[in-house]
Amino acid sequence: MKTISKFWLLIAVLVLLSPLGLFLPDYFKAGSAWGEWGTEEMPGLVGYVPAGLARLSAAWNAPVPDYAFRGQEGASLFVLSLEYIFSALLGIAACAGVVFMMAKLFGRKQ
């Protein structure tokens, strides 16, 4: 099996495992996933909201917040799992597209 095939197989497995981000925090009563805290959760975690986070928190809104489409936040875990997988595929496509374009622009001609 070629290295590139192994790479895409690994990516496919990771995409299919991405819904674990829904189940594990709930199972372990952990609240939000590590590192995905917003300004509303920070005071409870560290006692304050860092100034930079407070200043920049409104500057960017995620295109697919919480990996779910708008209005689907209360959907079943099955639907949310499909949305997690779609978000993973969307992110992979965006990254692959950027890499492809950079290779076309900056790659050597053979």
Please tell me the predicted confidence (pLDDT) of residue 110.
Answer: 67
Residue 25 lies in a domain: yes
pLDDT beyond 90 at 10: yes
Please tell me the predicted confidence (pLDDT) of residue 109.
Answer: 73
Q: Which two tokens stand for residue 1?
A: 């099996």
Q: What is the mean pLDDT of residues 20-42?
A: 82
Residue 52 lies in a domain: no
Domain housing 87: 3-36+66-106
Q: What is the mean pLDDT of residues 28-54?
A: 85
Is pTM beyond 0.85 here? no
Instruction: Report pLDDT digits (tens) over 49-107.
Output: 999 988 988 887 777 777 778 888 778 888 888 988 998 999 999 999 999 999 999 98
* HSE-CB of 91 using CA atoms within 13 angstroms: 15
Residue 42 lies in a domain: no
Residue 45 lies in a domain: no
Please tell me the predicted confidence (pLDDT) of residue 7.
Answer: 92
**Cβ contacts of 21 within 8 Å, gap of 6 or more:** 33, 67, 84
User: d(Cα 74, Cα 68) in Å, to the nearest integer?
Assistant: 9
Residue 53 lies in a domain: no
Residue 93 lies in a domain: yes
